[in-house]
Amino acid sequence: MALTTVIFDIDGLLIDSEPLWHEAATELFNQFGVKLTDTMYTSTTGLRTKEFVQLWFDYFKIDQKFAAESEKTIVEGVLKKIETKASIMPGVPHIFDFFANKQFKIGLATSSPPSLIDLVVQMTGIESYLSATASAEYLPYGKPHPQVYLNCAESMNSHPTECICFEDSFNGLIAAKAARMKCVVIPHHALNKDERWGAADLKLSSLQNFGELHFDRLNS
């Protein structure tokens, strides 16, 4: 089936927000006297904030009664940090123009809340390109479950096998492949050698590097 649709993750792919999520999470866990290491944080990249908080509260034996308020604190903190400090990732204008010129339907699918989608769409100026957006915040399961990708495709009347997904996290990659979609990964440079990226259809160092040869390879 020919490709007709492209769906993008947001955090760490379109906007350099992952360090800011890490920063907000570190500030939160410092209040409870525990340290979340870089390796710990990376292992849960792509999860929803609710699942992230519950998992690490369980690990550190922090009372779950503080979880809901902590989730809210992290999200509010990240939104403020993104608005004041985040930068748009290289290649964003290029990749949206590339697929718009092919008359592709374009969507966003993220584990982050709708408020973050709205902020990033505004900051990147991509609203006119979009056919749909989808957040996993209120779904029964977030990434690596494929539902947010399936929902986004369905809202654009696209079959999953017509879709290419762009991701930066392993949990996102698994979600895209579980949805039976092609997946291009743009991992953080520090994680570039992780062998798990072999599950992707294509791995690149930047959105800016995606071109016709890559597209033809995916669409063959």
Upper half-sphere CA count for residue 211 (Cβ side, 13 Å): 4
Catalytic annotation present for 11: yes
CA distance 50 to 137: 8
Task: Work out the angle at residue 205's Cα, subtended by the Cα atoms of residues 87 and 8, and round it to the nearest 5 degrees.
Answer: 65
Q: Which candidate in 9, 38, 97, 216 is catalytic?
A: 9
Handedness of CA 120, 173, 103, 95 (dihedral sign): positive
DSSP classification of residue 145: S
Tell me if 187 sits within 8 A of 197, measured CB to CB.
yes
Q: Which candidate in 11, 38, 58, 97 is catalytic?
A: 11
Residue 15: beta bridge partners? 11, 88
CA nearest 126: which of 134, 135, 117, 113? 117
Catalytic annotation present for 9: yes
Active centre residues (catalytic): 9, 11
